[in-house]
Structure 1
């Protein structure tokens, strides 16, 4: 492919690794074709300098490529939820990239609960969950405890609404399964 044109505020980058995210899957299915650019699968790309960060030395290029969309999605949801110190959070779907980053970036909350399958419960605890819920055995929405924020990364907004305190917030990251954009209730 020809080298892309580089604007004054951009940098030419040789692609060493790339990640496919749920949004890329939606693009491949034809969603956003009227409003979005083509997928940039090529050897070089031009990127605005302000969007770049230095790759940590302890990460491979493939590991580093997997982080930006998941981290940005996790951060934006937490920012919208305005979770504060002393509040509680339930994270649905911690085994995925977004959920993993959410649970690791809720410093100062009073309680972190999270859902995963039986074999991943120890992993939840190692990431910082105070309460690890096995979604294959327990219905999180039936817990007597309700949460200030429920961060739903698996498309269970109706159930999440039953687990949130009155006046609390549900952040729902909905992917290609339902073909809906992210939302906040």
Structure 2
């Protein structure tokens, strides 16, 4: 194994086909469905990829865009440094650039990675800020139905409360369909699936 591809989407429902268009070019493809906020090494497929690197099975990694590695600038730059230390060339498809040239780190790549990494991190911060602002507005308008302080359910209570969603999922329904049939949000259906 030499050339591999790492694909990541944030949620279970998201489609990876856009990132898989050139998959026949690679010895192995790692498909991850996890938030970019989770450190690369703490993700299931990320850990498998790192394990394959340690075994000496990889020389080149392709990703669709830098934010597939992560949305934390620190984690992103740490991963790039790690790949460089192992002489693994990282190719980012949307900018058409390699992290190394003739076995040496590409300084232009590092500069662009820093800029794009900061943009990705800022994007995530802004998204969370908009979410918080939306919740505050909903509270002011009396529309927010968030959880009361100290009212967190146990996993068993949660599954019992959303038994209908669990039944639909066990019957083979998709997450969206099970959420609709159970009259709950997609987030609730995802948690039910995780707890099953």
Under a length normalisation based on structure 1, what TM-score does the superposition of the two structures give?
0.29
Larger radius of gyration: 2
Structure with bigger helix share is 2
Asked which structure has the greater RCO (Cα within 8 Å, sep 6+), the reply is: 1
Under a length normalisation based on structure 2, what TM-score does the superposition of the two structures give?
0.28
Structure with bigger strand share is 1
